[in-house]
Amino acid sequence: MGNTTARGWAIALALLLGTRGTAQPAVELRGGIGYTLHRAKLYSLDGILDCGLLRSGHGEHWAGTASIRPWGAALPLEFGLLFAERGAVLQNSSTLPFRDSLSGQVISASAAVELHSRWRFAELCVLGWLPLGERIELLGGLRGAIPLSAHYRQQERLIAPETLYFLLPDGRRSRSRELASGEIRSRNPVVLGGSIGIAHRLPLGGRLWWTQRLLAEFSLTSMVTPLPWHHWNLRLESGLRWELSAPSPPPSPQPAPPPVAQPSSPGLQLELADIRGRLRSGWELLATVPMVLAVFFEQNSAQLPSRYVLDTFPSPEQWNSLDAVEAHRYVLPFIAQLLARYPQAQLLIEASTSGEDEPGGIALAQQRAQSVAQALVRLGVPAERIRTQWSLLPRTPSSSVYPEGRAENRRAELILRNAPAMEYLYRQRLRRLEGTLEVQLHCTGIPDTAALELWWSCSDTLLRLRSCSGRVQLPLGCQVPADATTLPIWIRGTVPAYGIATEAHATLELNQFPTDTLPLSLERFRAILRFDYNSAVLRPETEAWLRELVQLLPPGSRLLIYGSSDALGTEQRNAELVEQRARTTAEFLRRLSPSLTLRTAPLPREWKFPESLPEGRFLNRSIWLVAE
């Protein structure tokens, strides 16, 4: 603090020391609870993630104090030893875009990053006191606090929309997730501060008094180094004072009021009353993640951009959950795995530049081809299975009129010979438990009309009920592992108005349910097929894929064909490409299988991939096939 603040405290303390008190020498034991306000300028500290500036927060605290007035009326000072625990939650809020990995839809979501901190202090207080009457005193003084421990927990909480959830590692869905936790090690050894307040006392008989205090505290120095982090506290204390000489006889105490009957505490019970279902097995048809088989370079550079991953590759489960832009980061390990799977396969690398705006010319294109080849050799691909070519522009260039088109031409295309570039279609074993789950609800200490929220196994639905009592039937549709004999299920209920939550669990024996066979399922089928720049002509590999698809589809299947284009060029030309790509695909499928029911439509804008990346624009030159 500045000199003005320090001079003010010195004057106030001098005035208190110059006042002769009237109280007796005494010892006090007090406990208290209160409100804590934190002010800070935190970005990151001791493992706290930098998720934006944290400025303020609030919380609660408790404290226990032992104090003594050794000199009584001779000198108006009180010395106290205090142990306190203070907590606060600092937060900031922001709006960020999230992409649904299944639908490709971009959702704007509001989220808050919260920093929960808990501090424990041992403090020495020196207070002066000024009597304002027989039983009221004004208090003020200084205190020095030693931080004994400090811990934090950082979490992210979704605010809106209410339909968005995090998927936690254990499979649970939650509106919040933990980001980091640990100890705050950069705390200052001593935190100086001040206190001001008012005290009151009531006689209990003899030398014993009941005391109450209202104190306001604040820190003059930061709790951590080197960042500013201060706290202000407002605390109500209550305790006992024992005076060393008896005061005048107090009045007789008032009789205690009669006890008041307490209502039953609020509670919620869930019971799985009945489960009816059928175990169904079969196959489902899925499409693999579409890959852009090229490496895109920065202008005038032959160095692999940092977004490309070389040292790891996702597991099959992780791979199938990635969107195509994220999967493109693994394009080189992906090619290395295909070459290992097909020993007769050869790879041709065709590298190019964007033309006149890259002075390196043909030499730069050669360096790009060699850079990709060397990365693949490091991944275990024999050098003799790789051929390289280079040219000023790619074989099918994007328009050099646009900066985005020139960025796309700075690439090295990966062309496989004697092997499929991708295995587009695959069948996966499907086993489902379908039926209904009947749940008995019972509330205590809560009106029957209180709103209730329910989540349950194998469902992404949040059910809101207007009553928290009675029975409710919930649809059940659980994916079951092929070799499983049991299935754990759960149901979770909350009453938001009362802050109550509870769960019920059960393990189902699958042999108790009747079984039947499912037809080939297209419920999760979604495929993306790419086109060349400014073209609506089906590529040879796309035609081969569509022939394979028709052979696998059940008769009479219904498909919705979405046409898509990137944002380069005029809106009129892009609209024409959207319509032509969808129509061309539909006409080709009808020639292969007249029994198919087909519809065409423009791809919803929110499904599109980011236009800021070359691979995103490549993927937007496509059609999407979705089963209806």
Name the CATH architecture for the domain at 3-243: Beta Barrel (2.40)
Coil, helix or strand for 271? strand
Q: Which helix (H) or strand (E) holds 370?
A: helix 361-378
Which residues 6+ apart lie within 8 Å of 398 measured at CB? 404, 405, 406, 408, 409, 533, 568
Of 285, 275, 279, 276, give the one whose Cα is nearest residue 432: 279
The predicted structure's pLDDT at residue 619: 94
In sequence order, what are the residues at sequence separation of 6 or more whose Cβ sits closer than 8 angstroms to the Cβ of residue 148? 120, 121, 122
DSSP-derived 3-state class of residue 232: strand
pLDDT of residue 239: 94
Is the separation of the CB atoms in 235 and 215 below 8 Å?
yes
**Residue with tokens 């720049």, as numbered in its chain:** 533
Q: Which residue has the tokens 């089928």?
A: 525
Helix 571-592 and helix 540-552, axial crossing angle in degrees, nearest 10: 50
Residues 473, 436: contact at Cβ < 8 Å?
A: yes
pLDDT value of position 520:
85
Note whether 235 and 59 are within 8 A (CB): no
CB count within 10 Å of CB 500 equals 19
The Cα–Cα gap between 107 and 57 comes to: 28
What is the rounded CA–CA span in Å between residue 347 and residue 335? 9
**Token pair belonging to 167:** 């998927």
Cα(226)–Cα(40) distance, integer angstroms: 11
Q: Coil, strand or helix: which one is 560? A: strand
**Tokens describing residue 57:** 């927060």
Strand order in the sheet with 267-287: 470-479, 425-444, 267-287, 515-517
pTM, 2 dp? 0.52
Closest by CA to 193, choosing from 115, 117, 89, 119, is: 119
254 to each of 134, 205, 240, 260, how far by Cα in Å? 20, 12, 18, 18
Q: What's residue 499's pLDDT?
A: 83
Torsion of CA 573, 576, 580, 581, to 10 degrees: 60
What's the confidence (pLDDT) of residue 247? 46
Burial class of 404 by CB neighbour count within 10 A (0 to 12, 13 to 18, 19+): middle
Topology of the domain covering 289-422:
60s Ribosomal Protein L30; Chain: A; (3.30.1330)
> How far is Cα 521 from Cα 431, in angstroms, rounded to an integer?
11
The two structure tokens encoding residue 320: 């199938």
Nearest to 34 by CA among 66, 63, 56, 57: 63
Per residue in 514-549, is it b (16+ CB within 10 Å) or e — as a string? eeeeeeebbeebebbbbbebbebebeeebeebbeeb
Question: Which three-class secondary structure state does DSSP give residue 260?
Answer: coil
- Asked if 289 contacts 329 with a C-beta cutoff of 8 angstroms, the reply is no
Closest CA to 270 of 472, 411, 132: 472
- Who's near 558: CB < 8 A, 6+ residues apart? 596, 597, 598, 599, 627, 628
CATH 3.40.50.300 fits 525-627, yes or no: no
Looking at the chain, the domain(s) classified CATH 3.30.1330.60 span 289-422, 525-627
| DSSP classification of residue 243 | E
C-alpha Rg value of the chain to the nearest Å: 36
In the chain, CATH 2.40.160.20 covers 3-243
Spatial neighbors of 301 by CB under 8 A, at least 6 apart, are none
CA distances from 135 to 272, 500, 527 (A): 61, 44, 81
Distance CA 229, CA 88 (A): 12
Res 91: pLDDT: 87
CATH 2.60.40 domain extents, the chain: 267-283+427-517
Beta strands across the sheet bearing 526-530:
526-530, 622-627, 558-563, 597-602
CATH class of segment(s) 267-283+427-517:
mainly beta
CA distances from 255 to 206, 252, 298, 319, 451 (A): 18, 9, 85, 74, 43
pLDDT averaged over 10-residue windows placed end to end, the chain, 628 residues: 49 47 74 93 82 86 89 70 92 74 69 90 89 86 93 87 77 83 91 93 85 93 90 93 63 61 73 88 87 95 94 85 91 93 94 94 96 96 96 93 94 89 72 89 82 84 82 88 88 87 90 88 89 93 90 90 94 95 96 94 94 94 93
